[in-house]
Structure formats: C-alpha cells, structure tokens
Structure 1
Amino acid sequence: MGSIPTWFADAWRRSERLIHLAVVPLVTALLAFEKVQQALSVAGPGRFHAGVAIRFPAVVVDLWSFVSLPSVGPGVRVTSPLWLLPIIFVVHSVLAAGYLGSISDGLDDGRYDFAAAVERYFVRLVAYNALVWTVVFAAVVLGVLTGPLVLLLFPLFLLLNYLFFATPYLIVARDTSVVAALRESYARAVDGGPYFEFALQYLAAVLVLSIPTTLMAVNAGPVGILVAAAVTARVGLAFSTGVMRFVHQRTRGPRSD
C-alpha cells in the first residue's frame, strides 16, 4: 500500500465520478438525531469541547465518523422518540445498500443503478445493521448496569471494529452472505498484512481530520453541524470509495449471482 495522501488522492479521484452519492452521508449524518442532540448540548457561552476520533470504516462514513462527541453531563437529556428508531433503521439500511452497491459498481466507470443496488443488498445489510444495533444496545444496557466500568468496553469495541469493519463492503464486493463476509473479514484481520496496514492508515487519517471537524460540529451550534455535515459528506464518500477499492483489490474469486 502507498502512503495516506496517495491512498486518499486515488479515492478522491475515483469518487468524483460518484459525486451525487454524497447526499447519502449527508442524510445519514442529519438522521442521527441522538448525536446531533449530543453535539448541541455543548454549544453555548463558556462551553468548549475538543477531541479526536479513533474509528475504523463505518457502513456509511459520514460526519459522526470524524467527531469526538462529548459525554452527556448531569441534567442533559439526550433522547430520540422510540417510534423513530425502526424508521431510521430501515432508512439507513436502504441508503447503505444503495450507497455501497453503487460505489462498488461505479468504481471504474462511474456507472451505477442505486435502486438495483438497494434491491440486491437491502436484506443482507438489514441483517448486518441489526447485528450491529444489537451489540450497541447490549453495550448501552451494560453501561447502565456497570456505570464507569463501561469505559472498559472501549478497547473491546475497537477490537471488534477492526476485526469486522470490512464486512458490509465484502457483502457487496463479493455479493456474499453476512456470515461469509464476517468470516472473511475476521480471517483477513487476524492475518494482518495489508488489512492491518490499511486499518492503521485509515485510523491515522480519521484522527487528523477529526480535530477540526470536532471543533466545528460540537462548538458552533446548528450551523456548525450543517457545515461540517456537508463538508464531510464529500470526504466520507471518498473514504468509503477508498475502502471499497481496497476490498476489491484484496478479494479474490467470482461474485455470486
């Protein structure tokens, strides 16, 4: 693999052909109401938050992939209506299926069919997202029960993200099942090599970009969130394109029909 600037330049160039897809990370960022509320809980006179994000690729790389959110202090209530959660879940899965499928198809010539990608990958990405949401929900419950000990879960989450971050990209690139993609992602992560090198470069790139993004999104109120979401939508498209390109390069074997 080349350097981070080389990798990002190639991803940016390839994603120029897919520029209309940048609307997806913009929408997913604004649909994350809980995170929007959490960021807005800091904005105001005398308040300031800075931080860095340490994250591996998400299903859709958007604003919140580059933001270190503040912890919610006493007296601050950050909640979303429960009835919204299944709607957000379905919408996010639809967008993710069309987004990743379109990126995969359009890597070389920019041609893609978003609706066809949704039809082809929606069920599998629903299953994958359901698995991720279940793990996150279990962690939240555990956090409520254990209090400060929940901080010990961070290294575990980081490890799980490293082991399985390629899964949704493999589902699309290999047109394979969730289980098969999980197994392949795990095997490549354990083997290290290019997977490990790519993961480190990705972490470094996110960490650097997270510094100004966090400052803007968390301290500048609603306008800051909107500006940061718009800017990172384009950057997120490049990052997702780069991850898909990496997965295409490192996977072998025909796609199933």
Structure 2
Amino acid sequence: MVPAPDTGPPPDDGPSTAVDGSSGDSGPFAHHVSRIIDRFDDLWPFAVVPLIVSLLEFEKVRRALGPAGSGFSINLELLLPSPLVTLWRFAKPPDPPRVTTRSPRDEPFGSPSFGESTPSGGATTPTGSAGSGGTDLMIETPVETVGGPLEAIGTQTMVWIGLTLAAYAVLSGILMAAYVGGIDRRLRSEPIALGSCVVTYAPRFVLYNLVVFGAVLLLLAPLVLVPPPLLIVLAFPAVVILGYVFYPVPFLFVVDDTPFLEAFRRSVGLTTAGGPVLSFAFWHVVVGVVSSFFISLFVSVGGAGFLLALLGSAPLALVLTAATVSFFQTRLDGDGPDAGEDGHRTAGTDEYGWAVD
C-alpha cells in the first residue's frame, strides 16, 4: 500500500473567534467599537439623543457659553459603561459666580457664604460641603442651581427635592428605555418599535434610577458628620467598586430582558468573574479618561469650543453605548457558555448575534 502523500498542516481557515466576540489580539472593547463604527450608518440617528439631552441641561449650557476663564479646565472622568452618556459625563462646565446673601460685615470671618460650595456633579444630584459655619446643600437641576444651608432646609424643601428626583427618574428612565432598546433592536436588524421598548423596559429603568439616586443620597448623608476630604477618600473606592459591579444591570434589562432583581444578581456574577467583562469596563474607562481630557479643554474655551465638544461628544457617546449593547449581546446570545439562554439567538445571525443581511 502506498502511503498517502504528506499534504502538510491543515489549511488555516482564519483566526478563531473567542467566546466574547474578540479575535486575535484585539480585546472585546476594541472589537465591538470597531463593529459599531462599521455599522454607524445604521445607528447615527441615535446620536441625536445624547446631543439633545446635553442641550437640555440649560444651567450647564449657560455656564459653558459664558465668558472663558483665564486658563483651561481639565477633567479626567472615570466613565464606566452607562446606558446614556452625554457631554456632561466627559466635562464639567465652569463654576458659576459665587452668590452671597449677607454682606461681609454681617458674616463672621471664615464662615461659608450661601452658595459658596458649588457642585460639579450631574443634574438633580445633591451635593454639599461642610465648613466651620455649617453645611450648604446645593441641587443642580437642568434649569438652575439652587440650595442653601442644610440647617435651613425644611419639610417643604425636602418634598420638592424628592419630587424633582422622582420626576427626573421617570423621564430619564423612559428615555433610556427607548434609546438602549432601539439600539439593541437596530443591531439585531429588527423593527425599532420605540413604543414597545418604552412599555417593556421603562419600568425597570425608572426603578433603577431611583435605586441609584437613593444610593447617592446615602453616600452624601455622612457629609454632616464626616469632614469632606476624609469622606472623599472613603467614598471614592466604594463608588468605583459599586459602579463596576453593577454596570451591566441596565443593559441586561434590554439585551436579556432580565427581571429587575435578577439583573442585579446576574451583574454580580458577570463582573466578579472578571475576564472579558472586566476588560471591557477597563478599556471603556481608559477611553473615557482620554476623551474627557480633550473634551473638557474645548468646553473651557467658550462658545466655539463648546459647540465642537457638543458635536464631537454625541457620536462618541453613541459608539460607547452601542458597543456595550453589542458586547452583552455577544456574551448572552453568542457562541459562548451563555449561548441561547435568553432565547434571542435565531437562525440567520452571525457569531456576534447580529442579523445577516
């Protein structure tokens, strides 16, 4: 019998695809960002959402369009994956001028003036600062910044703050449901059906926002007892850890149609396992830090810089959110250990769970 000729090693059919949807040396974040850029022609209308939401922050827009300061203001933001990223997640507008309700001669030396401490956080987020004369509580709303001494806040003010947070949670929850749900369905080449997205996902997003606001208030409560520098040192690691552990939650609502409490449980399992979920979050933070550096420089320049930052941040925000949706579609619908467990995977989809045209 004549032995068969040696035909050499089997032909290379191309690089193998990892279970997280990445190939070769490309990490999951870079891979899914590349996929979103390739399909940006299908997704670009969604960039209107972060652009309009950024403009609706009237108080921040007014401050950004004010006279430019004497120098540049630089922000380095640790931006974990979020269902709705806007310009103000990358940059903070210049602080408003200080407002004094009492004349200097009526105020003891060293005590804080009303409005002396101005927050740089997001809309409707209460912040405060402790001083030798008491604590000021400032609330940033899309329209204006309001606040006063913590000791002077009564029941009526607390009710107003609660109603403001509740209204913001409802409106932003509806918007997130339509935005993330629409992106998810567009990536699957399904009809967007924004009304269906709102009905299906909005209740969970509203509850999620209320939980986040409640957690923020709990973190701010010790301001009265703990000096701000020490509080920042203690709170910063907790905020980063909690933000990472639960960042998949809002995306699980949409990609996997996961119930509210189950989404938190599954999020803990996904993030504590590390691997691609940790890698994706890490590179998302890196891109956020680099982007916020340049975007904040533009915002600090004034009118023209603000316009450039606004127009540049909207597509960037869309790419980041859509890449996160794509990543979790692959993790939950793809060829990995979790394949098909949510029932979305159907015939005619590629290895990324996207419909084949």
The more displaced of 93-102 and 3-12 is 3-12
Gaps of 5+ in 2: 1-21, 99-115, 120-139, 147-160, 333-337, 345-357
Residues 137 and 179 of structure 1, relative CA distance in 2, 3 Å threshold:
same
Contact 1:93 1:125 (C-alpha < 8 Å) held by counterparts = yes
Q: Name which of 3, 11, 20 aligns with 2:36.
A: 11
Distance 1:200 1:175, change over 3 A: same
* 1:139 Cα deviation from its structure 2 partner: 2.3
Residue of structure 2 in register with 1:49 after alignment: 73
* 1:59-94 C-alpha deviation (Å, 9 max, x unpaired): 212223323677889636564365654433322111
Over alpha carbons, which structure has the higher Rg?
2
Distance 2:170 2:258 in 1: 21
Alpha-carbon deviation of 1:41?
10
Q: Structure 2 CA distance, aligned partners of 1:207 and 1:255?
A: 36
State the number of aligned residues.
254
Quick one: distance in 1 between partners of 2:97 and 2:264? 36
- The aligned residue for residue 322 of structure 2 is 241
**3-state SS of 2:81 partner:** coil
| Structure 1 segments unaligned to the other structure (5+ residues) | none
Distance in 2, matches of 1:34 and 1:135, equals: 24
Q: Separation in 2 of the partners of 1:141 and 1:36?
A: 29
Task: Decide which of 298, 301, 321 is 1:220's aligned counterpart.
Answer: 301
1:144 offset after TM fit, Å?
Answer: 4.9
Asked if 1:254 corresponds to 2:342, the answer is yes
1:138 pairs with 218, 224, 227, which one? Answer: 218
Is the deviation greater in 92-101 or in 3-12?
3-12
Residues 167 and 215 of structure 1, relative CA distance in 2, 3 Å threshold = same
Change in 2 beyond 3 A, CA 1:144/1:230 = farther
Q: CA deviation at 1:23?
A: 1.7
TM-score normalized with structure 2 length:
0.63
Residues 129 and 47 of structure 1: CA distance in aligned 2, closer, same or farther (over 3 Å) = same
Distance 1:18 1:56, change over 3 A: same
Q: Distance in 1 between matches of 2:84 and 2:69?
A: 33
Counterpart CA distance in 2 for 1:231 and 1:208 is 14
Q: CA deviation at 1:160?
A: 0.8
Aligned residues of 1:216 and 1:224 also touching (Cα < 8 A): yes
| Contact kept in structure 2, 1:17 and 1:109, CA below 8 Å | no
How many angstroms apart in 1 are the aligned matches of 2:312 and 2:86? 10
Correspondence for 1:177 among 240, 252, 259: 259
**Aligned residue type for 2:187:** L
CA deviations 1:8-33 (Å, max 9, x no partner) are: 22122234312222122123323445
Q: How far apart are the structure 1 equivalents of 2:258 and 2:298?
A: 39
Deviations 1:73-117 (A, max 9, x none): 963656436565443332211110101111111113264111210
Say which of 18, 23, 47 aligns to 2:48: 23
Aligned mates of 2:167, 2:236 — CA distance in 1: 28
Query: What's the offset of the Cα at 1:229?
Result: 2.6
* 1:42–1:185 distance in 2 versus 1, CA, 3 Å: farther
Whether the 8 Å CA contact 1:170–1:176 is kept in 2: the answer is yes
Query: Structure 1, residues 143-169: CA drift from partner, whole Å, max 9, x if none?
Result: 454222221211111111111111000
Moved more, 73-82 or 112-121: 73-82
Q: Structure 1 residue 44: deviation in Å? A: 3.0
- TM superposition score normalised by structure 1: 0.86
Q: Which moved more, 1:207-216 or 1:107-116?
A: 107-116
Instruction: Determine the structure 2 residue equivalent to 1:165.
Output: 247
Return closer, same or farther for 1:111/1:11 CA change in 2, 3 Å cut-off: same
Q: Give percent identity, aligned residues only.
A: 27
CA contact (8 A) 2:66 2:303 kept: no
- In structure 2, the partner of 1:87 is 167
| CA RMSD of superposed structures (Å) | 2.8
Mapping of residues 71-150 of structure 1, within 5 Å:
75=116, 77=118, 79-80=140-141, 82=161, 84-109=164-189, 111-146=191-226, 147-150=228-231
In structure 2, relative to structure 1, the CA distance for the partners of 1:166 and 1:35 (3 Å cut) is farther
User: Contact (CA 8 Å) 2:177, 2:202: kept in 1 or not?
Assistant: yes
